[in-house]
């Protein structure tokens, strides 16, 4: 599991305790006292998770969350000028058995170019799926299993031999009668038709680690498989290597170890294994050379003859950097989390919507908190979880949703800037007057420099006024002026929609031909003649007779728009 990233892992990936030098701008904008408090709180929680995991095999959080928080702890410690903790497996003599051959780690390559650079000049290369489980050593002496050890810190590991008899995939006897034969591989949870692209890792590694860490024998051990990825001092030729492993009782590795000649070959198999059903969870691929040094030279640090190219995670963890809100034309207040930018499927994500103010409060998320983000349908960022909350939680002042509705902010009065702008964007959009060039940025520029007291104040703008606005050229001002003129000639239905008239009644309203006829209809008329229910009839009547809407209609009448005469 992740809390022993240096001890129990898939091939043991090497994460620097802190990636490079920490600069002041990389540190939280907290006082020294708060930084110390937050670091102490996180360190205590990590220690509790480590203890629980070691004692019971319980997995309270996902591996990726733990790894992220462990790296966050290291960063905060450096920012505070405090020493970095030494990660060790808590207590017990069972963690001190020396490996006959050290477990190496794997450097992670960031992308296809990195893989190509590593492959350049190397020959006899092979690719394997990076099985997501727990790394172990199998030691056979004279054909009999003598030890099953966890990876531990790479030099020493825990003695799990007593559990081997309950794992049918591990042969207790093999045909090779050598004085000592060492195999290194991955204990994994057997699955049927597992699609990594659809189902993700399903915490398979934690399930294996949890069962192996328990003092008792778990029934789940019978569901484990073993994928041998290293045979130190075994056959030098890979084909012979694979054939002999199959003969010894480890057939899976032959099926999933394939020769590659280019980065395109590696990429093809990486994509294939990501998409197609497999008997285990994976989190990338491993590229390895056929040639390896003798086992006596292996050390518990990254190998030079093998590397990993991981899959992009289905979700990423990042920090909330701020909170903003938007108010739509209908008065709906939406809370936005601003994030430290992250990459998801080659998409840069810097913000995520959490919905209403009430929903935001239920999330209990504030700047400084760590959150998990994924992509929902159509690539829209989604908040999945708050993985860590800072201890200091000041109250955030947000707009009161009760102050906004479908009939508020037809004028840019205090507190109405966002909804008023949203109304303008709708007015000029395809469902309204379809005014090319009048997007949110253009409206913002115009009314930062030109005062407006109404949703239709722009009808009085001329080319000269707009050309004087910073960011609007003379040519653009000419085009905008032409659009204003075209808008004046739009039909009644376009104007009704632009003003925000209830969409369900537009068709009937259009048939009345002008605003005066609409004003003459009672709520009962709408119910009987338009065929809408009582509630909707009151909604339409309320819109038409709302003071701000009536003022707009009067402005349009004064502007001599035919539909409002």
> Whose CA is closest to 238, among 310, 285, 292, 166?
292
> Catalytic one among 41, 123, 130, 190?
130
Distance CA 234, CA 243 (A): 12
Distance CA 166, CA 164 (A): 5
Distance CA 213, CA 94 (A): 11
Angle separating helix axes 417-428 and 492-499, nearest 10 degrees: 160
DSSP code at position 212: H
Contact 126, 260 (CB under 8 A): yes
DSSP assignment of 243-280 equals: HHHHHHT--HHHHT-EEESSHHHHHHHHHHHHHS-BSS
**Pairing label, strands 105-108, 302-310:** parallel
DSSP assignment of 480-525 equals: HHHHHHHHHT--HHHHHHHHT--GGGHHHHHHT-SHHHHHT--HHH
What CA–CA distances, in Å, run from 247 to 226, 239, 300?
Answer: 15, 12, 29
DSSP code at position 22: P
Q: Is 244 designated active site?
A: no
Catalytic site residues? 130
């Amino acid at each position: 599991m992740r809390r022993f990233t240096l001890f129990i892992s898939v091939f043991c990936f090497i994460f620097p305790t802190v990636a490079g030098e920490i600069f002041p701008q990389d540190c939280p904008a907290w006082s020294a006292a708060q930084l110390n408090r937050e670091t102490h709180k996180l360190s205590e929680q990590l220690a509790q998770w480590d203890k629980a995991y070691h004692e019971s095999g319980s997995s309270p959080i996902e591996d990726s969350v733990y790894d992220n928080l462990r790296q966050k702890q290291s960063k905060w410690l450096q920012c505070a000028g405090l020493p970095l903790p030494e990660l060790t497996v808590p207590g017990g003599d069972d963690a001190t058995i020396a490996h006959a051959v050290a477990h190496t780690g794997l450097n992670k390559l960031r992308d296809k170019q990195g893989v190509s650079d590593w492959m350049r000049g190397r020959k006899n290369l092979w690719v394997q799926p990076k099985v997501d489980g727990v790394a172990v050593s199998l030691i056979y002496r004279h054909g009999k299993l003598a030890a099953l050890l966890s990876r531990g810190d790479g030099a020493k590991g825990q003695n799990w031999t007593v559990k081997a008899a309950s794992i049918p995939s591990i042969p207790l006897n093999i045909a090779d009668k050598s004085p000592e034969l060492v195999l290194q591989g991955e204990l994994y949870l057997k699955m049927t038709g597992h699609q990594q692209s659809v189902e993700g890792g399903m915490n398979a590694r934690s399930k294996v680690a949890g069962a192996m860490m328990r003092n008792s024998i778990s029934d789940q051990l019978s569901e484990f498989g073993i994928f041998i990825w290293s045979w130190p001092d075994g056959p030098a030729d890979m084909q012979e290597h694979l054939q002999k492993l199959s003969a010894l009782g480890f057939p899976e590795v032959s099926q999933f170890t394939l020769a590659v000649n280019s980065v395109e070959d590696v990429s093809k198999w990486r994509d294939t294994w990501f998409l197609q059903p497999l008997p285990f969870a994976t989190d990338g691929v491993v590229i390895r050379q056929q040639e390896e040094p003798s086992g006596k030279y292996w050390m518990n640090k990254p190998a030079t003859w093998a590397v990993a190219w991981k899959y992009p995670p289905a979700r990423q963890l990042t920090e909330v950097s701020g909170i903003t809100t938007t108010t739509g034309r209908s008065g709906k207040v939406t809370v936005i989390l601003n994030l430290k930018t992250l990459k998801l499927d080659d998409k840069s994500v810097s913000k995520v919507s959490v919905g209403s103010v009430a929903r935001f409060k239920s999330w209990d998320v504030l700047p400084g908190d760590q959150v998990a983000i994924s992509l929902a349908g159509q690539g829209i960022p989604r908040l999945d979880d708050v993985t860590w909350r800072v201890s200091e939680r000041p109250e955030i002042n947000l707009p009161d949703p009760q102050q906004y509705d479908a009939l508020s902010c037809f004028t840019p009065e205090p507190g109405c800037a966002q909804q008023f702008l949203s109304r303008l964007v709708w007015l000029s959009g395809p469902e309204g007057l379809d005014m090319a060039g009048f997007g949110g940025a253009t409206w913002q520029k115009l009314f930062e420099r030109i005062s407006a007291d109404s949703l239709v104040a722009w009808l009085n703008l001329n080319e000269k006024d707009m050309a004087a606005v910073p960011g609007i050229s003379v040519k653009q001002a000419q085009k905008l002026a032409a659009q204003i003129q075209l808008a004046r000639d739009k039909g009644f239905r376009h104007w009704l929609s632009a003003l925000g008239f209830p969409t369900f009644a537009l068709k009937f309203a259009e048939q009345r031909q002008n605003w005066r006829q609409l004003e003459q209809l009672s709520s009962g008329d709408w119910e009987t003649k338009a065929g809408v229910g009582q509630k909707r009839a009151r909604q339409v009547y309320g819109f038409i007779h709302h003071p701000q809407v009536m003022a707009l209609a009067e402005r349009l009448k004064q502007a001599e728009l035919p539909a409002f005469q």
